[in-house]
Structure 1
Amino acid sequence: MRQPRRDTRGIVDPAELMRRVRFRRLAPAAGLAGLVEHHWFVDWDLDEPYEQHVVGHPAVNLVVMRTGDGEPVTAEVSGVSRHLFSIKLAERGWVRGVQFRPGAFRAFSGASPAPLTDRRVPLARALPSLGTVAALDGLPDEQAAALLDGLLLGLRPEPDEQVRSAMELADRVRHDRGVRRVDDLARDAGLSTRSLQRLFTEYVGVSPKWVILRYRVHEAIERAGGAVDWAVLAAELGYSDQAHLVREVTAAIGMSPAAYAAAISR
């Protein structure tokens, strides 16, 4: 079975997060491995509130959570977030999440994820046939993952050729730093630029250009944790110059790469 990824891309100051919470990823059931990236579980018991920031992936998430003592269990579907996502954690709580592969959510919902972009929608509205997730409260990890797997498999997801194409192209952008231009990606896929843009909008929820830029920002943020020559990194990631990289990272996390590197080193 494919193991869940171990990187921390998208998490702002991951070392600090891991000091504050229990964070883990679990692989989905074999029948979902081509459509679900992983389950992600977080638990916390804090003496003081803590705010976490995330530069999201181009992926839809199913999120079930209890955010504090006495709070109700809530369930929602979170679309692709183009902005810095922030959540304040306090007291004791938990999250049980499912991250779908970019382009895969439509196989479960039957509808484009574009209306979900930058939105969080109640689960009962986004996936009305899924069933109840209230039983997740208090379940051990493996049982919680099995419950989520069963509910998702019950939707009988059927990836069509467009879903498969969107997933494959988004995955290529994620892993191949040679993909720097939408026109080149469209040509290699045998599509017109307009057709590629329509495919990503309808199946991923955002444009191919945004996906290319987001994965480059993810890598720049992750690399900021070590010794970095920003001019060299900018060239490696396909930026026209160092200033361009600095602008994009600053827009994504609200501080320059150098300021972020200094902050996490402290």
Structure 2
Amino acid sequence: MRQSDPRPIDPAVKPARGLLHKQTSFEHFELTRFEPSDDLADWVEHHWMILYDLGDRPPYTQRNLSHPNQHLVIDSRGETGIFGAATGVFETTLTGSGRVFATKFWPGAFRPFFGRAVSALSDTWLPVETVFSRTSAAMQEEFTGLNDPVAMAERMEELIQAQLPEPDEKVGLARRIVTFAEANLELVSAGELAEAFGLGLRALQRLFDEYVGVSPKWVIDRYRMLEAVEALNAGGAEPLTELAHRLGYFDQAAFNHAFEKLTGAAPGVFRARVD
């Protein structure tokens, strides 16, 4: 018996993070997110849906910074499957009208479903039937007939519940370490992260390869970049030098180089586009 139903997330309380040029993004699509039912709260971070109708407007390419998670995605464009983290910038082009519905697993939580190192999913995707009892084609056809996002979330949860794996203590450890990295943006090295949890560097790297799908250093750097994007998206008067130091960079030049290498634009240029 379900202990609760999926419920909407208030974006004012828990804003979406990682959308490059967020204001422009929301001029092209609507994003709705849902907390999972209590039954799956240890496995699923949230469900999300993008709904778009561009009418006669030209195609729109959305660019995101991925988090260290895996997603089960039902896409009306036919790109339905299991997606790993994109180590660079993830891009997708929207045309006409459509929707994407997805379930985002907690960092570390997809490994027991997948049965092997989730690093095999990074920068790629696989059909739904690689892991679950339904095919991508069947899931896409079924979701075409659903118009209620809560019903979509419930259907996703039924699919996951049917193949719920045995508890795995390493899932919780991986999630705790990733959460720590997200909360401590002054971290700059994987060695610091390993030391914080009493692990050797190689042990931490093996854990992340198996359960997170990306390296500890990638996670550290990605959360710093996610915070940078959010700060720049918000505008504001925080000097770039102060932002760089807050994120653990030695100086603004190092921050500028890292940001431009990832996003293709220097922080000052990015902020100017927002303003």
* Maintained 8 Å contact 2:8/2:32: no
* Maintained 8 Å contact 1:55/1:252: no
Residues of 1 paired with 2:45 and 2:174: CA distance? 14
* Maintained 8 Å contact 2:132/2:163: no
**Letter matched to residue 94 of structure 2:** L
Equivalent residue for 1:106, pick from 103, 111, 121: 111
| TM superposition score normalised by structure 2 | 0.89
How many residue pairs get aligned? The number is 259
The alignment partner of 2:26 has SS state of: helix
1:122-161 counterparts in 2 under 5 A? 122-125=127-130, 127-130=131-134, 132-133=138-139, 134-139=141-146, 140-161=148-169
Which consecutive residues of structure 1, in runs of 5 or more, have no partner in the other structure?
68-72
Please report the RMSD computed on the Cα atoms of aligned residues, expressed in angstroms: 1.7
**Letter matched to residue 199 of structure 1:** L
Which consecutive residues of structure 2, in runs of 5 or more, have no partner in the other structure?
none
Residues of 2 paired with 1:251 and 1:124: CA distance? 36
| Identical counterparts, % of pairs | 35
Residues of 2 paired with 1:159 and 1:262: CA distance? 48
Q: Would the alpha carbon gap of residues 3 and 141 (structure 1) be closer, same or farther in structure 2, given more than 3 Å must change?
A: closer
**Letter matched to residue 32 of structure 2:** R
**Letter matched to residue 123 of structure 1:** V
Match in the other structure for 2:65: 55
Residues of 1 paired with 2:227 and 2:197: CA distance? 24
Equivalent residue for 1:13, pick from 7, 18, 21: 21
Equivalent residue for 1:243, pick from 253, 260, 266: 253
The alignment partner of 2:243 has SS state of: helix
Residues of 1 paired with 2:273 and 2:186: CA distance? 30
Residues of 2 paired with 1:92 and 1:248: CA distance? 35
1:1-266 counterparts in 2 under 5 A? 4=9, 6-46=14-54, 47-48=56-57, 49-67=59-77, 73-125=78-130, 127-130=131-134, 132-133=138-139, 134-139=141-146, 140-225=148-233, 226=235, 227-265=237-275
| TM superposition score normalised by structure 1 | 0.92
**Letter matched to residue 142 of structure 2:** A
CA-CA distance at 1:165 after TM superposition: 0.7
